Chain A
Amino acid sequence: MNTARILLWSPCVRCLAPFARTTRLQAVLSTGGLAHRGLGLSSSGVQVHRAFHVSSRHDKKQDLPSFVKESEKDGDKDKSLVVHDDLFERTGREAKNKGTFNKAVDVFNKRDVRRRGHVDFIYAALRKMPEFGVERDLAVYNKVLDVFPKEVFVPRNYIQRMFNHYPRQQECAVQVLEQMENYGVMPDEETRVLLFQIFGEKGHPVRKYQRILYWFPKFKHANPFPVPHQLPEDPMDLARFSLTRIAGDLDSKVTVYQMPYTDITEAGEEVEETHIVGIQSPDQQSLLAKHNPNKPVFVEGPYPLWLRKTCVYYYVLKADPVPPEEKVEEYIDPELVGPQQSIHYPLWVEMDLTRDMGDDFSFDVDEVDEGAIYGMCMAGRGDQITLSRWIAGLQETNPILGRIPTVFRLESGPQELQDLTEGQRPTGEDTEAEHRTEPDTEEEQQQMGGQRMKQ
């Protein structure tokens, strides 16, 4: 009981310490029996390597891990990281990959039997992982954890077990696990064995490991629409994947309206034509067939779709909502569905009774009429010429499109797929100019600019 309370206390103290380090607090700490705090020790916070068994606690002030945001105000810490960063930079000069990363770790391991400065090294390694592209590699995490010296941090008696034994090391290991968690890397048996060897059975890192192991499997399939880590490279495949993802109808069919190719014009210029991939479901086809040909259909876009860190853009073919007065009730011959039929059992019964309130479990849903969407496409370029090729392709399966005026409502949009990491923003398309070249079509321009596409 007493132990538990003290354990409860210690984190509170830790969070209070930076704000109110009053004498009273010190008094509480000292009266609380925490006599052997290593107050004077390692106050620099740079070389945290204290002699073993000297202390299980040290001053909170210096306990903050060096990678934490405050690091900029603490020049010393940075210095140490820079040393280790250099190690990575040096080894990774030729190529930054798993091999060179492992090499850097090996170099550090061999440098000193005592692994002096391993905590800082591990923080540096964690920071460098994405750069080397190993942030999702379990083996690398295990290797990083392996840098910790074994057995020395395992508490040997109940007092050590009670108080945060080697907090900085534990914190560091927790940080490794934290990064694994953030990248969705599931620790394995080897991780567990390592943590056991380093921190013993009940250390904070082991707890963290157990928590990850508890929650990760539960949430592994929480997303019913998972996006793979590795997206297809080919823009056509990517378009196919994204379109089926949006469409949400298992019947819808993806059609490639144009393959990318290079054409040489009469003037001798090379014109690169991009891919056009579209999707349409049978339902959309039949809806489009029923469209009133006097009303225009609109090609709208580009709309963004995010797939992890990639953003792709798509265009839709849609109509305005049908005003209520123009809705046509579909005629059903009462003879064919009436109550006395047997070929087709009656679709309704003539009765003056409605559902009883006690059995009416329907919700009151406010339905907002939206214009029907007849199809979607993705193209390498979002200009009107490219998109009108899509419409022309659609016309083959939907002959009615030949009679319906098509209006392009395009915002100046991106041309290419974007990658967040590259941070490039596509140049806006001057659709307006192109619209003017075609006076026949009705024009409608929404001058929203490319701002909406902001990442």
Chain B
Amino acid sequence: MSLNRIFVLSNSLKVGRRLIRPGVGQTGKEVLSHLQLQRSFKTNSRNLAYAKDLFLGKVNTAEVFPYPEIANEELEEINQLVAPVEKFFTEDVDSKRIDHEAKIPPETLNGLKELGLFGIQIPEEYGGLGLSNTMYARLGEITTLDGSIAVTLAAHQAIGLKGILIAGSDEQKEKYLPKLATGEHVAAFCLTEPGSGSDAASIQTKATLTEDGKHYLLNGSKIWISNGGFADIMTVFARTEVVDQDGQKKDKISAFIVERAFGGITSGKPEDKLGIRGSNTCEVTFEDTKVPVENVIGEVGGGFKVAMNILNSGRFSMGSAGAGMIKKLIGLTAEYASTRKQFNKKLTDFGMIQEKFAIMAMNAFVMESMAYLTAGMMDRPGLPDCSLEAAMVKVFSSEGGWVCCSEALQVLGGLGYTKNYPYERYLRDCRILLIFEGTNEILRMYIALTGMQYAGKILTGKIKELKKGNVGAVFDILGTKLRQSFGRPQDLGLTGKDGVVHPSLTASTKKFEENVVYFGSTVENLLYRYGKTIVDEQLVLKRVADVLINLYAMTAVLSRASRSITIGLKNHDHEVLLANTFCSDVYFKNNFMMSQLQRNSPENNDADIKKIAQQVLENRAYICSHPLERTF
């Protein structure tokens, strides 16, 4: 990589030299403008969320250190809440039956309503629990013990009624939230359509204004609507005609609160699914449903932003949910592994079994750390934009959850595969995590591109100078390169005397810092190479997203372990061990991925991978001859 870079630099140097000759004054000006540019970077980088800054090779320590805490009263409150919920889930919820009958029994639903779980985040004045994101995440750890219930609850409040909560008017809140908080009414979120999965632009459902201008007539159908069979209140997204500033009519998406009582709503047969079978998923069709004008959420034509905000804010809790599930699985599996004997040895004595437990513990630890770090960031006053962090939590925890479920099942061998044990159910249930609320592929694109866009805005000037061969810019980069290669390893000030990380994590922090700096220069290199055509380089973006997710995970564990050891939490040495192991594990993975991102990297097979896919897809089949075929 660096060779490559130096080559580019030397090229630009030559050009630079040519530039010097005509007049020194000119170059001086350029250097000056470059300096100004640099100054403006600094003002820009303030007050921004954490993850985006990583793209510039910077660590915004103020955002993530120290690890967010909640007040003692809040902690007590949440513990009081958690105890009965946990009791309810262990004693009264029969997950096996829910899975088998593909239905949550009414008494279970009533129990959930009595516990107030239908209104966790609805403010107390509307009859909800009014909990913060952090506390919501904590409750999510328990509700996830049954996937069907977790999804039903999430469809209700994480997305279904969130629209009213974050963008609804006071009247709308007063009218709908109290009944939603008690669970008397159940909410659903209707966005997906047969022809529009994550492509919101191709939504076909139409809302047309009636002649008297008091109602909208809603027509169209939505698919895969969780709670669609029995929801009373639905957040529906539909096209509406909007006159824009130029006086032109355009179709824009608007969000509506639709009551089932409005009429014209039919729900299809519940889908028979692989997992989360107890949750109700079906098609909902609207036929001339009359929706009053005052039921528009936000403004007419502003539905897209509403949808985006709802989805972005709902994702973070998946981390804690995944962690909750894994923690439970570790308990169950460890019990089995410690009692089962093979060759006069306990299963727990076998290295390969031990490794599985380490993986599960590490994943749970990282997920937890990421989820509560993000929740804490979101709970901060103001309106921090944490959509990137939330998306990273979702991607990491859904994939980690899948791996851990499968490992837990593996420990039990054949037993895990049977329906006598809950592992196969957990495995089926958690498969959906990789798919819904934005598939992981789409979220990766989102993560990488959002960051690239941000970095592009700031680095464009610098890269342009570089491409032009500006001497100042070139020397600046050469200087940093030299400093990096000869001086001490990258130091971003996280460790040391004024550091924010506990000394026992110094080695891991150094690795993290090194990764961050390398990532910054990789991003710059990618921008230099691809510019705005980076959008088409999905395999590149996937790696960028993966590295960023790893970096964020490292941050979370470093921050959490530092806090634990500093305030002396129970078993903090275990946390430090987990953090160090995770960091060094991921450090090498990051390095590998970033070296794949360099130009002409021998580790990078992307071109061939694309070719294979192309040849297969052209024929829409596996095209190799059968190994038993002969030609003569």
Q: Write the residues of chain A forming the contact surface with B, with a CB cutoff of 8 angstroms.
A: 186, 213, 216-217, 220-221, 250, 332-333, 335-337, 339-356, 358-359
Among the 9-residue stretches B76-84, B108-116, B228-236, B527-535, the one with 4 or more Cβ atoms under 8 Å from chain A is: B527-535
Q: Is residue B20 within 8 Å, beta carbon to beta carbon, of the partner chain?
A: no
Tell me the smallest distance from the CB of B233 to a CB of chain A, in Å.
21
Residues on B with C-beta less than 8 A from A217 are 631-632
Check A355 against B449 for contact (C-beta < 8 Å): no
Check A342 against B312 for contact (C-beta < 8 Å): yes
Partner of A339, one of B251, B449, B460: B449
Give the A-B pair count, Cβ closer than 8 A.
Answer: 115
Check B449 against A332 for contact (C-beta < 8 Å): no
Residues on A with C-beta less than 8 A from B340 are none
Q: Is residue B464 within 8 Å, beta carbon to beta carbon, of the partner chain?
A: yes
Residues on B with C-beta less than 8 A from A337 are 201
Residues on B with C-beta less than 8 A from A342 are 308, 311-312, 387, 391, 438, 443, 446
A348 to B450, CA, bound (A): 10
Q: Is residue B620 within 8 Å, beta carbon to beta carbon, of the partner chain?
A: yes
Partner of B531, one of A216, A345, A355: A355
Check B464 against A345 for contact (C-beta < 8 Å): no
Partner of A359, one of B304, B312, B457, B599: B599
Check B449 against A345 for contact (C-beta < 8 Å): yes
Beyond known contacts A336-B253, A354-B532: 20 more, CB 8 A cutoff: A221-B631, A335-B252, A335-B304, A336-B201, A341-B446, A342-B387, A342-B438, A343-B304, A343-B308, A344-B201, A345-B198, A347-B535, A349-B456, A349-B532, A352-B464, A353-B530, A354-B533, A355-B531, A356-B467, A356-B528
Check B252 against A333 for contact (C-beta < 8 Å): yes
Residues on A with C-beta less than 8 A from B311 are 342-343
Check B460 against A352 for contact (C-beta < 8 Å): yes
Q: Is residue B225 within 8 Å, beta carbon to beta carbon, of the partner chain?
A: no
A422 to B599, CA, bound (A): 62
Check B252 against A349 for contact (C-beta < 8 Å): no
Tell me the smallest distance from the CB of A428 to a CB of chain B, in Å.
40
A-B contact pairs, 17 of them (CB 8 A): A186-B632, A336-B253, A342-B391, A342-B443, A343-B198, A344-B198, A344-B201, A346-B446, A351-B453, A351-B456, A353-B464, A353-B527, A353-B531, A355-B530, A356-B467, A356-B530, A358-B529
A175 to B358, CA, bound (A): 74
Partner of A349, one of B251, B452, B529: B452
B511-534 contacts to A (CB < 8 Å):
527-534
A213 to B632, CA, bound (A): 8
A337 to B457, CA, bound (A): 18
A16 to B463, CA, bound (A): 72
Check B531 against A354 for contact (C-beta < 8 Å): yes
Residues on B with C-beta less than 8 A from A339 are 449-450, 453
Check A355 against B535 for contact (C-beta < 8 Å): no
B480-533 contacts to A (CB < 8 Å):
527-533
Known: A213-B632, A340-B450, A342-B438. A348 touches B304 (CB 8 A): no
Q: Is residue B442 within 8 Å, beta carbon to beta carbon, of the partner chain?
A: yes
Residues on B with C-beta less than 8 A from A353 are 456, 460, 463-464, 527-528, 530-532
Tell me the smallest distance from the CB of A334 to a CB of chain B, in Å.
10
Task: Render B427-457 as a binary contact track against A, CB cut-off 8 A, 1 for contact.
Answer: 0000000000010001101100110110011
Tell me the smallest distance from the CB of B319 to a CB of chain A, in Å.
17
Q: Is residue B209 within 8 Å, beta carbon to beta carbon, of the partner chain?
A: no
* Nearest B residue to A189, CB-CB: B632
Q: Write the residues of chain B forming the contact surface with A, with a CB cutoff of 8 angstroms.
A: 8, 191, 198-201, 250-253, 304, 307-308, 311-312, 387, 391, 438, 442-443, 445-446, 449-450, 452-453, 456-457, 460, 463-464, 467, 527-535, 599, 620, 625, 631-632
Check A343 against B438 for contact (C-beta < 8 Å): yes
Check A346 against B453 for contact (C-beta < 8 Å): yes
Check B200 against A344 for contact (C-beta < 8 Å): yes
A250 to B535, CA, bound (A): 28
Tell me the smallest distance from the CB of A219 to a CB of chain B, in Å.
9
Check A359 against B529 for contact (C-beta < 8 Å): yes
A327 to B92, CA, bound (A): 65
Tell me the smallest distance from the CB of A192 to a CB of chain B, in Å.
11
Residues on B with C-beta less than 8 A from A355 are 529-531, 533
A354 to B533, CA, bound (A): 7
Partner of B532, one of A220, A344, A351: A351
A73 to B442, CA, bound (A): 79
A339 to B307, CA, bound (A): 15
Residues on A with C-beta less than 8 A from B446 are 341-342, 345-346
Residues on B with C-beta less than 8 A from A333 are 201, 250-252
Residues on A with C-beta less than 8 A from B620 are 250
Check B631 against A220 for contact (C-beta < 8 Å): yes
* Nearest A residue to B8, CB-CB: A358
Check B449 against A346 for contact (C-beta < 8 Å): yes
* Nearest B residue to A347, CB-CB: B535
* Nearest B residue to A353, CB-CB: B531
Residues on B with C-beta less than 8 A from A347 are 535
Residues on B with C-beta less than 8 A from A341 are 200, 304, 308, 446
Tell me the smallest distance from the CB of B225 to a CB of chain A, in Å.
16
* Nearest B residue to A349, CB-CB: B453
A314 to B120, CA, bound (A): 68
Residues on A with C-beta less than 8 A from B460 are 351-353
Q: Which of A216, A221, A337, A359 has the most CB of B within 10 A?
A: A359
Residues on B with C-beta less than 8 A from A352 are 460, 464, 532
A342 to B250, CA, bound (A): 22
Residues on A with C-beta less than 8 A from B443 are 342, 345
A217 to B630, CA, bound (A): 8
Check A344 against B199 for contact (C-beta < 8 Å): yes
A355 to B530, CA, bound (A): 4
Check A345 against B532 for contact (C-beta < 8 Å): no
Tell me the smallest distance from the CB of A29 to a CB of chain B, in Å.
41
Residues on A with C-beta less than 8 A from B391 are 342
Tell me the smallest distance from the CB of A254 to a CB of chain B, in Å.
17
Check A359 against B632 for contact (C-beta < 8 Å): no
Residues on A with C-beta less than 8 A from B191 are 343
Known: A333-B252, A353-B463, A359-B599. A343 touches B200 (CB 8 A): yes
A340 to B385, CA, bound (A): 11
Tell me the smallest distance from the CB of A361 to a CB of chain B, in Å.
9
Check A346 against B632 for contact (C-beta < 8 Å): no
**Which are the 4 A-B pairs with shortest beta-carbon distances?**
A353-B531, A217-B631, A336-B201, A345-B445
Tell me the smallest distance from the CB of A218 to a CB of chain B, in Å.
8
Residues on B with C-beta less than 8 A from A340 are 308, 450
Tell me the smallest distance from the CB of A270 to a CB of chain B, in Å.
46
Tell me the smallest distance from the CB of A25 to a CB of chain B, in Å.
43
Residues on A with C-beta less than 8 A from B438 are 342-343
A344 to B197, CA, bound (A): 9
Residues on A with C-beta less than 8 A from B625 are 221
Check A348 against B199 for contact (C-beta < 8 Å): no
Residues on A with C-beta less than 8 A from B528 are 353, 356
Residues on B with C-beta less than 8 A from A343 are 191, 198, 200, 304, 307-308, 311, 438
* Nearest A residue to B312, CB-CB: A342
Tell me the smallest distance from the CB of A206 to a CB of chain B, in Å.
16
Residues on B with C-beta less than 8 A from A356 are 467, 528-531
Residues on B with C-beta less than 8 A from A216 are 631-632
A39 to B250, CA, bound (A): 98
Residues on A with C-beta less than 8 A from B533 are 354-355
Check B530 against A346 for contact (C-beta < 8 Å): no
A440 to B304, CA, bound (A): 51
Tell me the smallest distance from the CB of A420 to a CB of chain B, in Å.
29
Check A348 against B631 for contact (C-beta < 8 Å): no
Check A346 against B304 for contact (C-beta < 8 Å): no
A332 to B308, CA, bound (A): 18
* Nearest A residue to B201, CB-CB: A336
A342 to B448, CA, bound (A): 11
* Nearest B residue to A251, CB-CB: B620
Known: A213-B632, A336-B200. A348 touches B535 (CB 8 A): yes
